[in-house]
Structure 1
Amino acid sequence: MIHSLRKQNWIAMILLPILFSGILVLAPSNHANAQGNRIPAEELKEISRLSFTLRDAYQTQYTIFIFAQDEEISTLTEEDLWTNNNPGDPTYTGTYRAALLKKGAPYGTVQSADIDLHSITLPQTWHYTIKSKEKLTPDMLFITEWGSSNFNLAKPFIIRSGVLQPLKFVDNKGKNINNFYPAARESGIRILSESRVQFKFYNNTVFKYEIETFKLNISKLELRLTDTRYLNFNQPTWPNSGIGDRAYLESLKNSAMKGILPNQPNIKLGMTHKSMLNTLKKAKFRENGEWGAYYIYSQYAIGFDSYLHELDNRSRIMVFNLFVEQRNLYPETVKLWLGKPQKEYLNEAEGGYDMIYKYGSRTLSFHYLEEDEQIYLITIY
């Protein structure tokens, strides 16, 4: 019995390689000149539908070829508003893959990265590359798809160690957001210094341009959120001045902790009326509030512990009111960068909502009329 089993095993060992060799000989090849996952450079140029030039962090140049072994061609029967194509334009479908060809190399290497691309209509402009601004920051390839009437959803890739790699988006705490992000169809992404990447799109819910800044981490293959900003609808260009929400809110927090007027560190809570007038010019507009007098300036108001008819040299500053409607700040943005507030409630007496942050004996308060609406007033007291 044992001898019989051994004999069967020997027969199997002899026949299996022969049978396997026959299968290899008979099996058709999708690319006659391909060796494993390599394809000759000249063949890649012939079979690719799209190609892009991309540099890695060391400025080594590669060409990315996009091809599909099962590609089929047809023509559009109606206008495609997303791609700006007309009836009769050729369109291609298939399971598209990427191959990477290093400059000067005879072969390109088929990549395992899923580019999630299934159709191409020429000529196309919605898949593109953006060049880096400095050394040690790679160029980026963006494969995009329709997101809404205002933006596309952009999926970023970089080359790391000779391999095409997708990037993921994470929030400021490192929590995963997605592998794509909204970007306007024209000039919706730009690369800044220090490996920062900005995305811009028009947000219909607030009727403003939303701009998010991410920091590229090559080792983690991620884009981490580092700043936010909103611009009015009549400001479609990139902001090249001013500060983002993160730095602005951090500055407000520091001002509240120190009890000083933002951008006017010599004006402090508890300062006497006399000392303030020696430092700051007298306001053109003055009025009484519920708890005391206010000196009103263009961007802020200073409140005292006495009413106008009681103001004297010994009256003291009790509160700063900051007029911030032009800052385009929202409650969710504040929570993103300052964390969870100590209090958030509907202030029925005053009308609107209050969001309170406590820093020792000082308070930083944000005020908005409707839930999640734009903040119009910030108070430090």
Structure 2
Amino acid sequence: MRKLKQTWKLSVAVALTAVWLLLWGIPIHAEAATGGNQIAADELKNISRLSFQLRDAYQTPYTVYIFAKDEKMSVLTEEDYWTNNKTGDKSYTGTYRAAVVKNGEKFGTVQSLKLPFGGVTLPQTWHYTVKSSGKPMPDLLILSEWGTSNFNLVYPYVIRSGTLEPLQFINPQGKKLDASYPASRGDGVRSLSGSRLQFKFYNNSVFKYAVNTFKLNLSKLELQVSDSRYVNQGSWPNAGTGDRAYLENLKAAAIGGYLPANPQIKLGMKFNTLKNRLKTAKFTENGEWGAFYGYKTYAVGFNEYMHELGPSSYVMVFNIFADQQNLAVGNVKYWLGKPKEQYWNEAEGSYGMIYTMGKHSLAFHYDEEDGFIQLITIY
């Protein structure tokens, strides 16, 4: 009888323990250790379709596993030109989730975030990592989806405090942009010093490559637009300044009334003084309102014509030749705001827009309404 009572008590204790575990949502197998959202690292290696090595801002290494418990496999019956996969390659679909394992730990934490894809075709190259330039910049995980024939739409993620976090794109004023951003396939994202990232893609509406720079704010998980530019070739440009700095330089020159290429040359400067400060002009000509001394990237205009130039003549305008700058009309408005005046010059067959800068004006001239700037004037 005593043995029966002991056996009964033991059975009750086991049953109560099982009920307690179920009530608190703690699995009894190795799928979770604490909190109901951990999986053994060895098991993650076996069930995951993709894995990526990432470092956080402190350069601590982690592994991100991508898996789906409802995964199904099929075989491609035709080529997939987006993923560059061929007939016969294995394709997997399912509800994919991510798990993060800190290097050296035995369990990984399943992430609650929703991933922006439902399938993987192997071998694959369109989901990848971008290595950081070092502290305090973390590595990025880039998940991609089809955008156009020219680029993918990419979703960037970082590890912060052991958690996989999505980054939000925002404009210079702090307004949220789309969750994804265009990037060329293969080499469309790179990391720069100063916690900056660049995204590149071919814009076939203007037949140039758009290269946009973002500054990472890790505490806010934001990528804020910090610069923009267009380039003619697909290779990355140097990490120097783009449209924003170029326009800020023009703005400062207009406010100060000086030539951007040589701040010693100023509006109102006498003709004789100018000749002593500049080299011999490459060309001279008369314009509509007066004479011009032309150089490689700019021209200096006067208040009188060539045959009238003398000690009382003075500098009236600067012309900056901007053809090689690839400065888009839209990017001028993006960084300088709405112009004071925008017009169509029927006599010249071109467009213009004018900004007031203190006592002076900064004007942009272009042939196509949404094209590129050919000439910039300060007067």
TM-score where L is the length of structure 1? 0.91
Letter in 2 for 1:304: F
Q: Is the 8 A contact 2:39 2:107 kept in 1?
A: yes
Letter in 2 for 1:122: L
Tell me which residue corresponds to 1:350: 348
Tell me which residue corresponds to 2:30: 33
Matched, 1:332 2:336: no
**1:376 is paired with a residue of what secondary structure?**
strand
Task: Please list the CA deviations of residues 317-359 of structure 1 after superposition, one character each: whole Å capped at 9, or x if unmatched.
Answer: 1000111011011121011111121111222233321111111
Tell me which residue corresponds to 1:6: none
Tell me by how many angstroms 1:139 deviates: 0.7
369, 374, 377: which is aligned to 2:375?
A: 377
**2:276 is paired with a residue of what secondary structure?**
helix
Tell me by how many angstroms 1:282 deviates: 2.5
> Which structure 2 residues correspond to residues 40-59 of structure 1 after superposition, within 5 A?
40-59=40-59
Q: Is the 8 A contact 2:321 2:376 kept in 1?
A: yes
Tell me by how many angstroms 1:57 deviates: 0.9
Tell me which residue corresponds to 1:237: 235
Letter in 2 for 1:362: H
**2:244 is paired with a residue of what secondary structure?**
helix
Tell me by how many angstroms 1:23 deviates: 12
| Greater mean alpha carbon deviation, residues 347-356 or residues 75-84 | 347-356
Tell me which residue corresponds to 1:85: 85
| Greater mean alpha carbon deviation, residues 45-54 or residues 80-89 | 80-89
Q: Distance in 2 between matches of 1:242 and 1:288?
A: 36
Task: Please list the CA deviations of residues 265-311 of structure 1 after superposition, one character each: whole Å capped at 9, or x if unmatched.
Answer: 11111111111110102313111111111112121111111111111
Unaligned runs of 5+ in 2: 1-14
Q: Is the 8 A contact 1:68 1:97 kept in 2?
A: yes
Q: Distance in 2 between matches of 1:205 and 1:291?
A: 36
Q: Distance in 2 between matches of 1:274 and 1:140?
A: 58
Task: Please list the CA deviations of residues 53-97 of structure 1 after superposition, one character each: whole Å capped at 9, or x if unmatched.
Answer: 111111111110100010000100001111111111111000100
Q: Distance in 1 between matches of 2:99 and 2:163?
A: 9
Letter in 1 for 2:198: Q
Runs of 4+ in 1 over 6 A off after TM superposition: none
> Which structure 2 residues correspond to residues 206-355 of structure 1 after superposition, within 5 A?
206-232=206-232, 235-240=233-238, 242-355=240-353
Q: Is the 8 A contact 1:96 1:116 kept in 2?
A: no
**1:177 is paired with a residue of what secondary structure?**
coil
Task: Please list the CA deviations of residues 143-189 of structure 1 after superposition, one character each: whole Å capped at 9, or x if unmatched.
Answer: 00111111111100001111110011001111111111111112111
Q: Distance in 2 between matches of 1:109 and 1:157?
A: 16
Tell me which residue corresponds to 1:198: 198
Q: Is the 8 A contact 1:331 1:375 kept in 2?
A: yes
Tell me which residue corresponds to 1:142: 142
Letter in 1 for 2:365: H
Q: Distance in 2 between matches of 1:345 and 1:144?
A: 41
Tell me which residue corresponds to 2:63: 63
Q: Distance in 1 between matches of 2:20 and 2:252?
A: 76
Q: Is the 8 A contact 1:154 1:182 kept in 2?
A: yes
Tell me which residue corresponds to 1:13: none
Tell me which residue corresponds to 2:7: none
Tell me which residue corresponds to 2:160: 160
Tell me by how many angstroms 1:241 deviates: 5.5
Q: Distance in 1 between matches of 2:30 and 2:69?
A: 14
Q: Is the 8 A contact 1:184 1:201 kept in 2?
A: yes
Q: Is the 8 A contact 2:268 2:315 kept in 1?
A: yes
Q: Is the 8 A contact 1:191 1:197 kept in 2?
A: yes
| Greater mean alpha carbon deviation, residues 334-343 or residues 31-40 | 31-40
Q: Distance in 2 between matches of 1:288 and 1:241?
A: 39
Tell me which residue corresponds to 1:187: 187
Unaligned runs of 5+ in 1: 1-16
**2:369 is paired with a residue of what secondary structure?**
coil
Q: Distance in 1 between matches of 2:41 and 2:234?
A: 42
Letter in 1 for 2:86: N
Tell me by how many angstroms 1:223 deviates: 0.3
TM-score where L is the length of structure 2? 0.91
Q: Distance in 1 between matches of 2:107 and 2:203?
A: 45
Letter in 1 for 2:31: A
**2:373 is paired with a residue of what secondary structure?**
coil
Change (3 A) 1:69 1:279: same
Q: Is the 8 A contact 2:282 2:296 kept in 1?
A: no
Letter in 2 for 1:177: L
Letter in 1 for 2:286: N
Q: Distance in 1 between matches of 2:102 and 2:62?
A: 4
Q: Distance in 2 between matches of 1:148 and 1:310?
A: 58
Letter in 2 for 1:98: A
Q: Distance in 2 between matches of 1:130 and 1:241?
A: 17
Q: Cα RMSD between the aligned structures?
A: 2.0
Q: Distance in 2 between matches of 1:230 and 1:262?
A: 21
Tell me which residue corresponds to 1:131: 131
| Greater mean alpha carbon deviation, residues 282-291 or residues 187-196 | 282-291
